[in-house]
Amino acid sequence: MFFAVLLAGQALAGPLPAPLPSPLEAGWRGEAVCELLSENARVRTLRCTFPPGVGHERHFHAPHWGYAVQGGTNRITDAGGVREVTTPTGGSWWSDRTASHETLNIGDTTAIFLIVEPKTGAPGN
């Protein structure tokens, strides 16, 4: 697929950017970091495991609730820049959506997160 942009009277053509993978599809250096724990018509649940020095390549997130089974410190890069985030074991969060980000475990322990994604259009959503 190609796209064209008209800029100052000149057409620029090139391939369309590839869509970003979901957290399940994205990995780290060719290896999966998330596994599918459960999926039905209402929800998908993933477990993502990051040993020290392992990250998660650029991906998007649908709306989700996250829970730290084993907390850790990550370097997160997104549209807002680069920041370090420490999530304690038992910590949780809600995200309406993440257009794009990537992470790297910069701590010295393995971080494990559950990601629970309600499915759009499911009753109650």
Q: What is the mean pLDDT of residues 54-82?
A: 94
Q: What is the mean pLDDT of residues 59-78?
A: 94
* Two structure tokens written together for 70: 């084993």
What band does 120 get if pLDDT is binned at 50, 70 and 90? Answer: confident
Q: What is the mean pLDDT of residues 108-115?
A: 97
Please check whether residue 101 is in contact with residue 81, taking contact to mean a CB–CB distance below 8 angstroms.
Answer: no
What band does 2 get if pLDDT is binned at 50, 70 and 90? Answer: very low
pLDDT of residue 123: 55
pLDDT of residue 17: 56
CA distance 63 to 78: 16
End-to-end CA distance of the chain: 34
Evaluate if pTM is beyond 0.75: yes
Q: What is the mean pLDDT of residues 2-24?
A: 58
